[in-house]
Structure 1
């Protein structure tokens, strides 16, 4: 659309369609989807109830759903429209061990579902070219579901077509955790890269009292490595984190442990820096193995890249939320978050938007806390998620129909790619 007046009229009509449609569906989404997912927390790659709940709701709304999409048993996909550009709405729905939906992924699924339904209704009612897709992305909490979906081609365009125009989602947070004050949310959320790996030390068993000199103590290797890292933490940057746990320290105190295993996460602001930090951490492991006379073996997991902010998409979302009466911060000036997400990998693949909306949390704590899990179940949090979804639906529509927004998002993505 090139004429500004006709574009304004179209966007106004689109907003009205989205608002009306999501207002009519909001309570059924809460009852039939949000509460069901929250009440049945499922861990990585085990989100069978969430998968079926979201798929069934979409089918009842008249959409064709591909269940077990892209070779993942708890992924799904639905698409509406034809021709034009394609945008993808990413739905997360996995939970955390012991504390359920303490990251509020029930609200992520709610907002992405609602945004898809709103944007699809605009394409239908206004007869526009363009396609909107919802993609179920399991296992964000350490399982790297989006990484596997990238590898499976879920973010590739159909043969002969231009690249995917954008991938979007929003995530609940508390105001205190992001230092947002009176802001209703954050559009340009910067999250850091995370390298994950398990480390095994292998020595030689012996009787711990009878002939300890014949043993090589794998627990000693792990303890030395842990202490090495504790000292390394004094010389890392303020935005870097190293944290790990012992998974296996041996079976009995009177047996020299032959094998031990640790699980570690190494985080820094960018992929480049996280990989440099990982090399320093590996030296700590290798020094521990050398001191104890043991072998060290690495079992790498899927790494999460840093989340790249797309200014065009962030600013467009801020505009849309302002029209809904909510003020969002366009971009963090001094990032306060030290978390990571596999949406970071998506942001290196296609132009991406990953915003944060604020829900009331009694203690003001960040996510990954039981108080946050309780807050994520409330009607108030759901209503905020639906309002955030209205902005997300409009972001999708504007990327589909406005050349300036789509081209700006692509330029920002390519510029960030050059700087990576």
Structure 2
């Protein structure tokens, strides 16, 4: 290779103090989706100090940023997430995601600098706010952030794996390369009826709450006829103000998940039929508001293997013990735009503690968690070098991705 993996690893190790300081700062200053002003400014200041040209508020997203190095050639992007959750702070460890991606970016830059100006290729660190429900990457996609990208990489922390489903010890596993997550189609549902005095003239009313309840019950019965991998969950948003006024307005919000975007959209159409039927039965009208929806996570197998090859032997599983994570991420949408890698790495947590809990927040602040994020940053950097340096590898990654995008269009019957 023209680009040296050892140079990448050394470049990361040379910046451990800066990486640790940023990691600690983001964890200590949790900010919600699209409010990550401190994190944005911290990245901008650090990257500028390190000599990079940084675009603040990149692609019109106020808390996004973009740093780039190199020219010409192929382009690799690392996503840096840094939003937190209400009430529990960095209970999903996005401080560690940001740290790992920054480490990878610095490692690739170090290898490119050692190779000299004759090497053609580019690497970017892209700040991607609002993953936790805000769909930040969807805004970046719409603005063209991933056009012409040959590979996009990031990695996410998770609780440690103790045993495989067959009981085999898995305590040596530190990372999972090919993480899978569900597509998530989200919609708000609004029923409109007609108010009336519920005691004096109930016959004059059209009860939107009845439509809400009928639709909810219809979806609940539909759950018996869906595949085990699929999920439907919703809440009631509006059902009336006073018992003696027939409700003219009712609303629900539903998430529909499946293993592919095509299957999730197909399942949503079945769910929607429940609401259409409720509208007909009650005499209400029904309207829908589509919320940002997340596609399923479709990682590049070749990028996953390149990551595994770069990590200490025996510490990385290709797949997680369960076939799918029940969660969803807007990185899935990125995987529909360009070849992607979204691995996971294990951090030590108390027994029974998972993501989105206070216990995970505490675990995401430890030195051990930081060290593991750095180890994964080294692995992603080396995997990215193959894309930049090996034309055949990059072409194969692209070819596989194009074929997979055709498969992704096919609904499961």
Deviation at 1:178, TM superposition (A): 9.8
Do the aligned partners of 1:179 and 1:336 also contact (CA within 8 Å) in 2?
no
Alignment partner, residue 45 of structure 2: 56
Rounded Cα–Cα distance in structure 2 between residues aligned with 1:210 and 1:377 = 61
Aligned partner (choices 265, 275, 294) of residue 255 of structure 2: 265
What is the CA deviation profile of residues 204-256 of structure 1, one whole-angstrom value per residue up to 9, with x for unaligned ones? 12233333332222122111111111111111101000011122232233322
Aligned partner (choices 311, 319, 342) of residue 331 of structure 1: 319
Alignment partner, residue 248 of structure 1: 238
| Range that drifts further, 325-334 or 254-263 | 325-334
Deviation at 1:261, TM superposition (A): 1.9
Aligned partner (choices 381, 392, 411) of residue 393 of structure 1: 381
Q: How many residues align?
A: 401
Alignment partner, residue 411 of structure 2: none
Deviation at 1:326, TM superposition (A): 5.9
What is the CA deviation profile of residues 348-382 of structure 1, one whole-angstrom value per residue up to 9, with x for unaligned ones? 11111111111111134331222222211222111
Do the aligned partners of 1:313 and 1:405 also contact (CA within 8 Å) in 2?
no
SS at match of 2:317: strand
Aligned partner (choices 388, 391, 396) of residue 403 of structure 1: 391
SS at match of 1:301: strand
Alignment partner, residue 346 of structure 1: 334
Deviation at 1:405, TM superposition (A): 2.3
Rounded Cα–Cα distance in structure 2 between residues aligned with 1:367 and 1:331 = 19
Rounded Cα–Cα distance in structure 2 between residues aligned with 1:102 and 1:148 = 24
Where does the alignment leave 5 or more consecutive residues of structure 1 unmatched? 1-6, 158-163
Rounded Cα–Cα distance in structure 2 between residues aligned with 1:77 and 1:23 = 22
Deviation at 1:386, TM superposition (A): 0.8
Alignment partner, residue 228 of structure 2: 238
Change (3 A) 1:310 1:73: same
CA RMSD of aligned residues (A): 1.9
Q: TM-score, length-normalised on structure 2? A: 0.92
Within the alignment, does 1:417 sit opposite 2:402 as a pair? no
Rounded Cα–Cα distance in structure 2 between residues aligned with 1:199 and 1:313 = 40
Rounded Cα–Cα distance in structure 1 between residues aligned with 2:218 and 2:381 = 49
Change (3 A) 1:308 1:82: same
Do the aligned partners of 1:176 and 1:366 also contact (CA within 8 Å) in 2?
no
Higher helix share: 1
Deviation at 1:333, TM superposition (A): 7.3
Deviation at 1:48, TM superposition (A): 1.4
Rounded Cα–Cα distance in structure 2 between residues aligned with 1:41 and 1:297 = 36
Change (3 A) 1:256 1:340: same
Deviation at 1:126, TM superposition (A): 2.2
Within the alignment, does 1:82 sit opposite 2:71 as a pair? yes
Change (3 A) 1:291 1:39: farther
